[in-house]
Structure 1
Amino acid sequence: MTNPKYVIAARVGSDEDETGHEPLLFWNSHDGFGSLAAATVFTEEDALSYALPIADDQPEWVQLPETPS
């Protein structure tokens, strides 16, 4: 297993989107919350020392799935 990678996610509102899930925004250290494609990716060590940003909903750490090598 490789070293896990994490992003910070926060729910947007309380309504489900067309897939039946609550929409999420992802933290970007330069621009704030936005798309997953622009999210800042953290190692487990980075995540342990990084303070979660303040948002309307409590942000949480989300582990990214492993990508094949």
Structure 2
Amino acid sequence: MNKRKPTGFVAACQCSRVVGALDLAKTERTDAGKMLSRWLSDGCTVEPRFDGSWSVVVTPCACELTEQEF
């Protein structure tokens, strides 16, 4: 069985909110690598998406909202 290649990625913050999405068909390879690296260094969970019809709602991180209140 051949492994499928992802068509994009979704980043979820430690607060469980989706904070980013990346469509590989619309993003340069170098830019995609930089974005994935940034998400991982920020502590996000990066999840691949495999079909061409996925969608997500990107929201602000709740961690940052909590830090600003202090």
Q: Which TM-score tier does this pair reach, normalised by the shorter chain? A: 0.3 to 0.5
TM-score, with structure 2 as normaliser: 0.38
TM-score, with structure 1 as normaliser: 0.39
Return the index of the structure with the highest Cα Rg. 2
Name whichever structure is richer in helix by fraction: 2
Name whichever structure is richer in strand by fraction: 1
